[in-house]
Structure 1
């Protein structure tokens, strides 16, 4: 596939995601974040696949090195997103737990 098409797809997806998230009410951000953890997991798989494809295509050229670096950064960023999302979800769920020892 032509790299220009991939860049255009990335730009359109980024703008579309920005405008969708911008219009979500702030009350729904935390519950939606829980669902987005699954999508971030898929992003990790896609980044691993992209790194594997660059390795198969040309293991000695500059494209290999650039693909490995960008793929590695994508894996790291998606992993941070998943861990942070689970942390926020856990914090949100702990806020709704009732205290067992409440005095009246």
Structure 2
């Protein structure tokens, strides 16, 4: 019931804004920036609503997200856009993306390994 009430309140709040937005042109950068800010708030509230005992497994699951990032970075590195003036920049950013996502993936595996080691018996 709380979810239905919250959904109704959000709808009542957003409806006038939707009518206003349909008549105005919004810059692409403003639109993307608004999505980014909303994602930051949603991420903040999702992470902080998790009990402390589940923070490490939650962070370990982000390995899946990093694997998607690394696939995109590999595509950026391997894309044949050398005719474009931004080809070198794209390749450089792709290499940086591969390096950062690799650190995140392997670090996540190390954290998971340490977390699982806490549950092993001392003798084994």
TM-score normalised over the length of structure 2: 0.61
Which of the pair has the greater relative contact order for Cα pairs under 8 Å at 6+ separation?
Answer: 1
Shift of 1:99: 1.6
CA deviation profile, 1:38-61 (whole Å, cap 9, x unmatched)? 221121112112333xx33x3044
Larger Cα-atom Rg: 2
TM-score normalised over the length of structure 1: 0.70
Structure 2: gaps (5+ residues): 1-27
Give the 5 Å matches for 1:22-101.
22-52=48-78, 55-56=79-80, 58-100=81-123
Aligned residue-pair number: 96
* CA RMSD of superposed structures (Å): 2.9
SS state at 2:86 partner: helix
Pick closer, same or farther for the CA change 1:27–1:83 going to 2, 3 Å: same
SS state at 2:50 partner: coil
CA deviation profile, 1:34-82 (whole Å, cap 9, x unmatched)? 2221221121112112333xx33x3044311111111111111100000
